[in-house]
Amino acid sequence: MFKLLSLFAVTLTALFVARADADTKASQFANVGRPATAAEIQRLNISVLPNGEGLPEGSGSPREGKEIYRTQCASCHGDNGEGRPEFPALVGGRDTLASATPVLTVGSYWPYSTTIFDYVRRAMPYATPGSLSNSEVYAVTAWLLHANGIIEENAVLNRQTLPQVRMPNRDGFVRDPRPDVKAKR
């Protein structure tokens, strides 16, 4: 019985010490930062869903996107989207997913065209993410889709037309089989 009480006392003491240490660390940052303003939250609330919900106004074509790609993207991803050693290819790879050496590109792997827009708007160009206008992002997205043979050169992408683009690998993913996940397509 004494051993059990001693073990309980040691465990309880360790919990109190751990909690005190956590409180000390948390208090070190008590006056760091500030709550985000509504404008800051709105500026970051730019998610685009696969069905196009969240797409902004603007438009762009492959012709416009080619020049923007050349000045903003080619230094990392290659003149034609072929990639560089440190940066992935964006063009090509069609029909390679089942091979021993699949090439995962926008055209071969990504299931939704709206995801391209969302990613480019958030994360590109690499050195200045978020610096492109909505129309520039539509144009770069259009160029990437055209370079992958998915849309015609005279296509114009906007919040209505982009979600209608059907990607080659749209049905290439399996649904999550876990019973607690309610994924919808």
Read off the amino acid at residue 51. Answer: N
What is the average pLDDT value for the chain, to the nearest integer? 89
pLDDT score for 174: 80
- Better-scored residue on pLDDT, 181 or 157: 157
CB atoms within 10 A of CB 31: 7
Residue 47 lies in a domain: no
Question: What CATH number does residue 69 fall under?
Answer: 1.10.760.10
The helix or strand, by DSSP H or E, that contains position 119, with its residue range, turns out to be: helix 113-123
Residue 178 lies in a domain: no
Residue 120 lies in a domain: yes
Please answer whether residues 121 and 47 qualify as being in contact, where contact means their C-beta atoms are separated by less than 8 angstroms.
no
Residue 183 has pLDDT above 70, yes or no: no
pTM, full prediction? 0.77
pLDDT band of residue 77 (cuts 50, 70, 90) is: very high
Query: Residue 156 belongs to what domain range?
Result: 56-164
The number of folded domains in the chain is 1
In three-state secondary structure terms, 49 is coil
Joined tokens for residue 98 = 């089942």
CB atoms within 10 A of CB 80: 13
Phi, then psi, of 157 in degrees rounded to 5: -100, 140
Residue 17 lies in a domain: no
pLDDT score for 182: 76
Residue 98 lies in a domain: yes
pLDDT score for 21: 62
Residue 131 lies in a domain: yes
pLDDT score for 23: 59
